[in-house]
Amino acid sequence: MYERSVIIPSSIESINRVEKIIDEISEQRDISHDLYGKILIATIEAVNNAISHGNNFAIDKKVKVEFRIIDNQFTITVEDEGKGFNPSVIPDPTAPENIEKISGRGIFIMRQYADELEFNELGNRSVMTFSL
């Protein structure tokens, strides 16, 4: 079993700390290049959403990221201090009316790359699971 967590301020620059942890874990666990890419992209999307949408870049609010490996399951939990949201009402970014929109793809990407994606009832915590 492996567990690690980090609490970062709500600034885009803080994402680098999360990237470094994923790099370290991937190297230690010999995670394939393809899976590493999926984990990295999905996690960066989750953390970016937490910073920008959840905490609205409020520097006094934090984002907690937990990394856990049990057996062959790598779980990454991202939680912000925001008011949350309802993930079931997020517009489909592949719908014709949304194709040209600049934002609105983060959760879609997370769903595509993670084997499982869940949100808590409030909508301020996402849990992504990847099979190793």
Tell me what the pLDDT averaged over the chain comes to: 95
What SS3 state is found at 70?
Answer: strand
- The residue among 30 and 97 whose pLDDT is bigger is 30
Q: What is the per-residue pLDDT across 84-128, written as a single tens digit (0 to 9) for each?
A: 999 888 888 788 888 888 777 899 999 999 999 999 999 999 999
Which residues fall within 8 angstroms of residue 109, CB to CB, at 6 or more apart?
41, 42, 45
**Dihedral angle, C-alpha 39, 129, 25, 50, nearest 10 °:** 60
pTM (2 d.p.): 0.94
Give the residue extent of every domain in the chain: 2-131
For residues 128 and 67, what is the distance between their CA atoms, to the nearest angstrom?
10
Looking from the CA of 14 toward its CB, the CA atoms found within 13 Å total: 21
Tell me what pLDDT residue 99 has. Answer: 84
> CA 71 to CA 116: how far, in whole Å?
16
pLDDT tens string 37-66 = 999 999 999 999 999 999 999 999 999 999
Segment 6-30 shows an average pLDDT of: 97
CATH number of this structure's domain 2-131: 3.30.565.10
